[in-house]
A and B are shown apart, each in its own frame.
Chain A
Amino acid sequence: AQTVTQSQPEMSVQEAETVTLSCTYDTSESDYYLFWYKQPPSRQMILVIRQEAYKQQNATENRFSVNFQKAAKSFSLKISDSQLGDAAMYFCAYRSTNAGGTSYGKLTFGQGTILTVHP
Chain B
Amino acid sequence: GAGVSQSPSNKVTEKGKDVELRCDPISGHTALYWYRQSLGQGLEFLIYFQGNSAPDKSGLPSDRFSAERTGGSVSTLTIQRTQQEDSAVYLCASSRRTGGYGYTFGSGTRLTVV
A residues within 8 Å of B by Cβ? 33, 35, 37, 42-47, 50, 52, 91, 93, 95, 97, 102-112
- What B residues does A95 contact at CB under 8 A? 100, 102
* Chain B 76-108 interface residues, beta-carbon cutoff 8 Å to A: 89, 91, 93, 100-103, 105-108
- Interface magnitude class on chain B: 20 to 34
The answer, yes or no, to whether B42 is at the interface (CB within 8 Å) is yes
> Given A105-B33, A106-B48, A112-B42, do A47 and B106 touch, yes or no (CB 8 Å)?
no
A60 to chain B, nearest CB (A): 16
- What B residues does A47 contact at CB under 8 A? 101-103
Q: Tell me whether B48 and A105 are in contact (CB under 8 A).
A: yes
- What B residues does A110 contact at CB under 8 A? 42
With both beta carbons as reference points, the residue of chain A lying nearest to B55 in the complex is identified as A105
B92 to chain A, nearest CB (A): 10
Q: Tell me whether B50 and A35 are in contact (CB under 8 A).
A: no
- What A residues does B89 contact at CB under 8 A? 43
Q: Tell me whether B56 and A102 are in contact (CB under 8 A).
A: yes
Q: Tell me whether B48 and A43 are in contact (CB under 8 A).
A: no
The answer, yes or no, to whether B114 is at the interface (CB within 8 Å) is no
CA distance A41 to B89 in the complex (A): 12
B36 to chain A, nearest CB (A): 11
* Chain B 23-75 interface residues, beta-carbon cutoff 8 Å to A: 31, 33, 35, 41-45, 48, 50, 55-56, 58-59
Q: Tell me whether A33 and B100 are in contact (CB under 8 A).
A: yes
Within 8 Å by CB of B45, from A46, A97, A107, lies A107
A sample of 25 inter-chain contacts (CB < 8 A) reads A33-B100, A37-B102, A42-B107, A43-B107, A43-B110, A44-B105, A47-B101, A47-B102, A91-B42, A93-B102, A95-B100, A102-B56, A104-B55, A104-B56, A105-B31, A105-B50, A106-B56, A106-B59, A107-B102, A107-B103, A108-B45, A109-B44, A110-B42, A112-B41, A112-B42
Q: Tell me whether B106 and A109 are in contact (CB under 8 A).
A: no
B102 to chain A, nearest CB (A): 4
